[in-house]
């Protein structure tokens, strides 16, 4: 029965009319929104309730990643710069690497922990390091979101960890796709999102962190980006894959199931995989059709006759014509 319900929901989500504003559900399962876009252009390849608001959970960390990488690009910090741990960071809950007050790590270590372990304490440490306070960093997140065109997004945390009635980070599948397009244009971002494991160089106690994204192993060409789940936000994912010369981005926001967290995450991952598969097939078909078009050739030009010099009598006639 579980597989039948999942199949029904997959069918509903993947065949819904583009732009519809009603969430689709089956057997109590629900998806807030989904979208697949061409990573090179942002062109929409498929969408279902892509503008319906939802909470992204740890997918929020993609904006934290972007801001840190842009600071590195702009020379404001480096991957080797040390990031200190404050009391606020050490006291963060949820998924974490159990930072201790006074510890320092390189920004590189922190970014791997942020993307692979989805460490909430690391997100807070990076926020304080880059903006002086979590509140100031969140303000930066919202300004950058507006610049990217994420018109329906409002961040309240650097990590997506919220509880109960909130407030919660809010966004849409379309807005998250816009963020992913920017990140996919940065090879350094994919370096962190594609890593399957990393060992933190913790003094006397190295710590291995593993990537939470199962599509890195199961979907050919997948090299990112981020999964998310909390009890308050349900399951979401932003993922990307490149096959040949085509790269697609798929977003699934707010998968909920009465069967629990694991069912939500399996549904989320399957929907994302199906979206990427269909999107890549569409781009490949477009490329094949384009290759069959005859090359446009300019119309042949008639050779110009050389201009004849006027003869004596023509010259004489022109001379005495008034």
Collapse the DSSP code of 94 into the 3-class scheme (helix H, G, I; strand E, B; otherwise coil) and give the result: coil
Helix (H) or strand (E) holding 207: strand 207-210
Q: What tokens does 251 get?
A: 């977003």
| Rounded-to-integer distance, Cα 297 and Cα 23, Å | 49
pLDDT at 36: 98
CATH architecture of 2-282: 3-Layer(aba) Sandwich (3.40)
**Domain boundaries in the chain?**
2-282
Find all residues with CB under 8 Å of 271, minimum gap 6, and list them.
Answer: 10, 13, 14, 31, 34, 250, 252, 255
Contacts 24+ apart (CB under 8 A), 7-12: 9/267, 10/267, 10/270, 10/271, 10/274
Q: How confident is the model at residue 52, as a pLDDT?
A: 96
Of 34, 55, 61, 236, which one is the catalytic site residue? 61
Catalytic: which of 34, 55, 58, 95? 58
Q: Return averaged pLDDT per consecutive 10 residues of the chain, 322 residues in all.
A: 42 42 58 96 96 97 98 97 97 94 96 97 98 98 98 98 94 98 97 96 88 96 96 94 96 92 92 96 91 67 58 52 48
Q: Indicate if 61 belongs to the active site.
A: yes
Dist. CA 48–CA 314, nearest whole Å: 79
* Residue 257 a catalytic site member: no
What is the reported pLDDT for 30? 87
Marked catalytic residue, from 34, 55, 95, 118:
118
pTM value > 0.95: no
CA 241 to chain centre: 11
Structure tokens, 34: 């989904």
Residue 58 annotated in active site: yes
Q: How many CB atoms lie within 10 A of CB 179?
A: 27
């Amino acid at each position: 029965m579980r597989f039948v319900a999942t199949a029904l929901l997959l069918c509903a989500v993947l065949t819904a009319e583009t732009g519809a504003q009603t969430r689709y559900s089956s057997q109590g399962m629900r998806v807030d929104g989904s979208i697949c876009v061409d990573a090179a252009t942002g062109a929409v390849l498929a969408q279902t309730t892509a503008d319906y608001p939802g909470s992204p959970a740890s997918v929020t960390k993609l904006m934290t990643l972007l801001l840190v990488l842009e600071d590195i690009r702009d020379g404001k910090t480096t991957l080797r710069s040390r990031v200190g741990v404050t009391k606020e960071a050490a006291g963060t809950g949820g998924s974490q690497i159990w930072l201790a007050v006074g510890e320092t790590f390189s920004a590189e270590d922190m970014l791997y922990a942020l993307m692979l372990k989805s460490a909430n304490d690391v997100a807070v440490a990076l926020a304080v390091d880059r903006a002086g306070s979590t509140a100031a960093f969140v303000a930066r997140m919202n300004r950058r979101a507006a610049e990217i065109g994420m018109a329906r997004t409002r961040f309240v945390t650097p990590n997506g960890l919220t509880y109960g009635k909130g407030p919660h980070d809010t966004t849409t599948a379309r807005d998250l796709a816009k963020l992913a397009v920017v990140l996919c244009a940065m090879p350094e971002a994919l370096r962190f999102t594609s890593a399957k494991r990393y060992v933190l160089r913790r003094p006397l106690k190295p710590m291995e962190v593993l990537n939470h994204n199962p599509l890195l192993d199961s979907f050919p060409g997948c090299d990112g980006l981020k999964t998310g789940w909390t009890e308050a936000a349900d399951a979401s994912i932003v993922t990307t894959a490149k096959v040949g010369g085509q790269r697609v981005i798929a977003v699934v926001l707010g998968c909920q199931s009465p069967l629990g967290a694991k069912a939500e995450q399996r549904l989320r991952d399957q929907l994302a995989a199906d979206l990427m598969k269909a999107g890549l097939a569409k781009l490949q078909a477009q490329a094949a059709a384009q290759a069959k078009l005859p090359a446009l050739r300019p119309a042949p030009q008639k050779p110009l006759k050389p201009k004849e010099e006027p003869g004596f009598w023509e010259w004489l006639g022109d001379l005495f014509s008034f």
